[in-house]
Amino acid sequence: MKIGFIGVGKMARAIIQGLKTRPDQIIISGSSLQRSKEIAAELDLDYAQSHQDLIDQVDFLILGIKPQAYQAVLSPLTFKQPVMSMAAGVTLAKLAELVGSDLPLIRIMPNMNAQILKSTTAITCNDQVNQEIKELAQAIVTSFGSCFDISETDFDTFTALAGSSPAYIYLFIEAMAKAGLAHGLPKEKALDIISQTVSASVQQLLRGHESPNDLIDKICSPGGTTIAGLLELERTGMPSAISSAISKTIEKAKTM
């Protein structure tokens, strides 16, 4: 199968690295022919002479352009194949206006972990997507991480939980590292300790045998150090602050 990319930014490049594990031919078209040649040489890919030339020869199209460029880039083009969009804020309805409502259209929302082929990605489709195309789209997504079939109405919530949350997780890790530094550990060593601990804790949770509360109860002992720290986190408002941050993220996404 020939898979084409219009636009080859950071996220598109991450997806391409995942797709290279599949037998598909990947063809790109950048902001100019010269740019297409440069990127193709850099990534060891084929390139098209123009966006329309790309569309005319591929079986499946992925859009890697910025949301604000959709109108200008897509309006002059004629499409014939399934189209996948990863642009925040570009709904399936808006995409249909630009490329045609009679085409199979797929919207995805990856996160930055696509750069290490560990993206948590939402996917939703229009009514023109049959089971075969949907399975292909899901296979493309799982080549660079995990795939969650989400209603488009829940995309803003997904964006907060999977797209923005890595920043909140990094903030938590940074705060822990600073606490380690304050109590005598070199920050680099503290950061390594916390990162390893967070990674292992997530792996434990992903086994699916126990809930977060179950695991918390296992760690806490009566009158111990952990429950003292947990009560301090609750007293200073950490749980409500996290919930509030997610709500604010969702509110902002709905206004963009």
pLDDT tens column, 113-148: 999 999 999 999 999 999 999 999 999 999 999 999
* Strand residue runs (E) in 88-206: 105-109, 119-125, 145-149
Residue 28 DSSP class: E
158-254 has which CATH code?
Answer: 1.10.3730.10
Q: Give the model's pLDDT for residue 209.
A: 86
Judge whether residue 47 has pLDDT over 90: yes
Confidence of residue 174 (pLDDT cuts 50, 70, 90): very high
Convert the pLDDT of each residue in 63-104 to its tens digit: 999 999 999 999 999 999 999 999 988 999 999 999 999 999
- Residue 8 annotated as binding? yes
Tokens of 161: 């939980």
| CATH match for 2-150 among 3.40.50.11540, 1.10.10.10, 3.40.50.720, 3.90.1150.10 | 3.40.50.720
pLDDT, average across residues 57-65? 97
Enumerate the CATH 3.40.50.720 domain ranges in the chain, comma separated. Answer: 2-150
Q: Give the model's pLDDT for residue 231.
A: 96
- Residue 223 annotated as binding? no
Confidence of residue 62 (pLDDT cuts 50, 70, 90): very high
Cα 158 from chain centre: 10
Judge whether residue 250 has pLDDT over 80: yes
Confidence of residue 7 (pLDDT cuts 50, 70, 90): very high
Enumerate the CATH 1.10.3730.10 domain ranges in the chain, comma separated. Answer: 158-254
Q: Give the model's pLDDT for residue 56.
A: 97
Nearest CA-CA partner of 79 in 93, 109, 59, 108: 59
Convert the pLDDT of each residue in 159-168 to its tens digit: 999 999 999 9
- Residue 6 annotated as binding? yes
Nearest CA-CA partner of 51 in 67, 69, 43, 42: 69
Q: Give the model's pLDDT for residue 144.
A: 95
pLDDT, average across residues 199-214? 94
Convert the pLDDT of each residue in 26-45 to its tens digit: 999 999 999 999 999 999 99
- Residue 145 annotated as binding? no
- Residue 11 annotated as binding? yes
CB 190 within 8 A of CB 177: yes
Judge whether residue 256 has pLDDT over 80: no
Q: Give the model's pLDDT for residue 152.
A: 95
Nearest CA-CA partner of 109 in 170, 55, 67: 67
Q: Give the model's pLDDT for residue 241.
A: 95
